[in-house]
Amino acid sequence: MKKYKIAAIAGDGIGPEVVGEGLKMMRHIAELDGTFSFEITEFPWGCDYYLETGRMMPEDGIKTLSGFDAIFLGAVGRPDVPDHISLWDLLLRIRKSFDQYVNLRPVKLLKGAPCPLKDVKRGDIDMLFVRENSEGEYAGSGSWLFKGKPNEVVIQDGVFSRVGCERVIRYAFELARKYGKKLTSISKGNALNYSMVFWDQIFNEIKEEYPDVQTESLLVDAASMFMVRQPERFQVVVTSNLFGDILTDLGAAISGGMGLAAGANINPERKYPSMFEPIHGSAPDIAGKNIANPLATFWSVSQMMDHLGYEEWGKLIIDVIEELLSERGMLTPDLGGSATTTEVGKAALEKLDQKFLSKR
């Protein structure tokens, strides 16, 4: 029987609550399927670990994780630990160390999901963001001069390498070709006269290799406006690290909220493990109350199943989420319901059972 080694890092705030339900789902799927199993190792890394040890993860944490087939992460961040430390020493360290240069974030209005936009047909919001995930504005390069002095200066570099831009743009073109979809590139060449001019140039170069793919290039300010006014304009989207971060929270807002937005950090060459996580944070405002929405986490489990080659399971999880959304009886407060995280998790497993059994 095929065995997958999964590293689970629940992290902080609502992380353990949603990851707990996600792990139950993974174990349940393996049991139902019977042809593979998950060997899950949970790591207690995060802000509590930092306050005890002075580190977000052990020194050899990356080496430890490299032996796994995939990483499943909740959220990182706690109000009493500086965010740039907690995120740089755990989440961003994993994304960078494992060259997870593609961040795949679906922005799709699932059946039953609420939408704040007027006159939008369900099928109009169906995008797949390919966010550059290894460099750009998140390169971590810069300097802090004359700290604390009146002439203090900080410099934060955006680093856009040819290899880095080409590989993520080419990945997006391949996806667009595979699904027969349009590809939109989002940049800001009018103001960022080095990085984004370069991005646009590389996009145009690679476009020549894909004459069958319809394309559009938009400036990020206009793109934000069109995501709200004409969401049907977007299908596959490729953009830089920071723009992708911001636009996918906007995407979450128009497709059901943060409790429904999932993401996969992919190392396409499969040289290193990929990482699956909801895109929301640790939500300190609702942590510990058992009311966090686990549906985003379930969606990232679905992405993990796809990545491991079990697309049927990936699809079945999406069907379960859509049914829960459409029936409305078992939803957390962010979606207008009164169910707890655990209750939604339990309902999801029951639905998985029903759907799986009815397929046999």
Q: Which of 206, 292 has the CB closer to ligand NAD?
A: 292
Task: Pull the structure tokens for residue 214.
Answer: 């319809």
- For residue 55, the one-letter residue type is R
Single residue of 169, 275, 279, 344 touching ligand IPM by CB under 6 A? 279
**Alpha-carbon distances, residue 70 vs 5, 95, 116, 186, 307 (angstroms):** 7, 12, 35, 29, 9
Residue (of 122, 76, 128) closest to 102 by Cα position: 128
Closest approach of ligand IPM to the CB of residue 263, in Å: 7
Single residue of 277, 303, 316, 352 touching ligand NAD by CB under 6 A? 277
Q: Is 334 in the site for ligand NAD (CB under 6 A)?
A: yes
Closest approach of ligand NAD to the CB of residue 297, in Å: 7
Residue 32 in 3-state DSSP? helix
Q: Is 258 in the site for ligand IPM (CB under 6 A)?
A: no
DSSP string, 131-155: EE-SSEEEEEEEEEESTTSTT-EEE
175's contact among ligand IPM, ligand NAD, Mn ion, none, with CB below 5 to 8 A by partner kind, is none
Footprint on residues 140-159 left by ligand NAD (CB under 6 A): none
Single residue of 87, 115, 117, 197 touching ligand IPM by CB under 6 A? 87
How many residues make contact with ligand IPM (CB under 6 A)?
5
Q: Is 245 in the site for ligand IPM (CB under 6 A)?
A: yes
For the chain, the residue count is: 360
Place of tokens 């399927």: 33
Task: Pull the structure tokens for residue 22.
Answer: 């996600």
Footprint on residues 77-96 left by ligand NAD (CB under 6 A): 77, 83, 87, 91
Residue (of 257, 262, 184) closest to 223 by Cα position: 184
Q: Which of 65, 91 has the CB closer to Mn ion?
A: 91
Instruction: List residues binding Mn ion (CB under 5 A).
Output: 245
